[in-house]
Amino acid sequence: MTAMTELLIGAFAAAAVLGASAQATRFCPQGGLRETLLERKPTRLAAYGVAVGAALVAVALLQLALGQTLIPSRPAYTGPELPWGRYVLGGLLFGAGMVLARGCPLRTLVRVGQGSLQAVLVLAVMGLAAYAMSRTSLYGLWFAPWIDGWSLDLRRFGLAHQDLATVLGLGSTGAHVVLGLVLGAMALVLCWRALPLRKSWGLWLGAVLIGVVVAAGYALTAGPIGQRAIEDASFMGQPPDGLGVQSYTFAGPLSDAVYFLLHPSSQTTTFGVMAVAGALLGALLAALLRRDFRPQGVAGWREGARQLFGAVLTGGGAVLGLGCTVGHGLSGVSVLSIGSMLGLASIFTGAWLAIRLEAGRRVAPLAGAPGYTAASGG
């Protein structure tokens, strides 16, 4: 078995664990934020925080084991270029879009695995929007001429990378490890207050597994298997697509999956394609085992149109913003990327605005009804 085959099998297997864990725990940052804002139930949002904290700790320990600082290349979360305009605008679009679409790409994959035909349509539109943004002239013609100027080259300030440790002047691997462990522990402690371990150990287990899977992705691509795969590719006449240090995200991989389906003979299977396929299969198996698989039809035309419009914003925003709630929130934040922190903040800002606008539109027609109070909602 070649190193490339081992890499792809490992990526698929770890993604299956990710999909199964996301299904079993109803992992959904959008749903968690909605429940926190409208129902004062922070449980699912805290579970997302647990996954972030677990990813920070696991990736820090991985760097300690490898004896090196992880420098992702697909995408370059810690590169010297800080395209803050893309992070902010793409994040806002993605955040608003995932509210309208009723979930981020990972949650949509889980819904497909649970039997939702509507989610199949939403996922297809997300993928096509990501494909259009990354593999056609759309970005180059309509966005690049102005948004590429909203970028900051940190090398002008003597910084080779945009990770938090480097920005603080702590460039050693040891500093990255310590900072990751400290931030991860802080996140876990904060989430424990909203999500007590004794009462919610299942959610904790699933969220921690999701964070560990992010570290597993980096271990595969930055460790011995990934290095052997890169060395083998250097001797090939047509190297495989998508090699490099990376972990899980569902921004670019949706585009990769669409391109693979449209041109199966001209693109090799990539880490991203295996991530999408593995997460989908894992969610399906978990739904079957937990008896959560229930065939569901499409939504009504108004709700369906809203979800499809949200899917366009989500898929396009993910590529424009160079990440999603998994890419920026877990893979990017776990390597202390300043850009990913900005992107994640923009995603949640966009989602917060969309949730507030939706809630306001639903409440407004009822405001004049007899007996209506803001607290009751109707």
How many other C-beta atoms lie within 10 A of the C-beta of residue 364? 9
**For 12-48, b where at least 16 C-beta lie within 10 A, e where not — what string?**
bbbbbbbbbbbbbbbbbbbbbbbbbbeeeebbbbbbb
Joined together, the tokens standing for residue 143 give: 């966005």
Q: Which H, E and C letters describe the chain, residue by residue?
A: CCHHHHHHHHHHHHHHHHHHHHHHHCCCHHHHHHHHHHHCCCHHHHHHHHHHHHHHHHHHHHHHHHCCCCCCCCCCCCCCEECHHHHHHHHHHHHHHHHHCCCCHHHHHHHHHCCEHHHHHHHHHHHHHHHHHHHCCHHHHHCHHHHCCCCEEHHHHCCCCCEHHHHCCCCCHHHHHHHHHHHHHHHHHHHHHHCCCCCCHHHHHHHHHHHHHHHHHHHHHHCHHHHHHHHHHCCCCCCCCCCCCCCCCCCHHHHHHHHHHHCCCCCCCCHHHHHHHHHHHHHHHHHHHCCCCCCECCCCHHHHHHHHHHHHHHHHHHHHCCCCCCHHHHHHHHHCEHHHHHHHHHHHHHHHHHHHHHHHHHHHHHCCCCCCCCCCCC
The pLDDT, as a whole number, for residue 237 is 75
State yes or no: pLDDT of 126 exceeds 70: yes
Confidence of residue 368 (pLDDT cuts 50, 70, 90): very low
Q: What is the pLDDT of residues 142-201, one digit of tens each?
A: 999 999 999 999 999 999 999 999 999 998 999 999 999 999 999 999 999 889 988 899
Contact of 162 with 153, CB cutoff 8 Å: no
Confidence of residue 49 (pLDDT cuts 50, 70, 90): very high
Q: What is the pLDDT of residues 252-271, one digit of tens each?
A: 999 999 998 988 777 678 99
State yes or no: pLDDT of 291 exceeds 50: yes
- Percent of the chain scoring above 90 in pLDDT: 86
> What's the CA gap between 6 and 220, in Å, rounded?
9
State yes or no: pLDDT of 370 exceeds 70: no
- 187 versus 238: which is more confidently predicted? 187
Q: Of 230, 250, 251, nearest to 240 (Cα)?
A: 230
Q: What is the pLDDT of residues 127-145, one digit of tens each?
A: 999 999 999 999 999 999 9
- Determine the Cα angle at 143 with ends 141 and 147, to 5°: 135
> What's the CA gap between 48 and 210, in Å, rounded?
9
Q: Which residues contact 160 (CB under 8 A, 6 or more apart)?
A: 80, 154, 166, 171
State yes or no: pLDDT of 76 exceeds 80: yes
> What's the CA gap between 52 and 340, in Å, rounded?
12
Phi, psi torsion values for 296, nearest 5 degrees: -130, 145
Contact of 130 with 343, CB cutoff 8 Å: no
Can you tell me the mean pLDDT for 54-70?
Answer: 97
Can you tell me the mean pLDDT for 345-349?
Answer: 98
pTM of the model: 0.94
Confidence of residue 377 (pLDDT cuts 50, 70, 90): very low
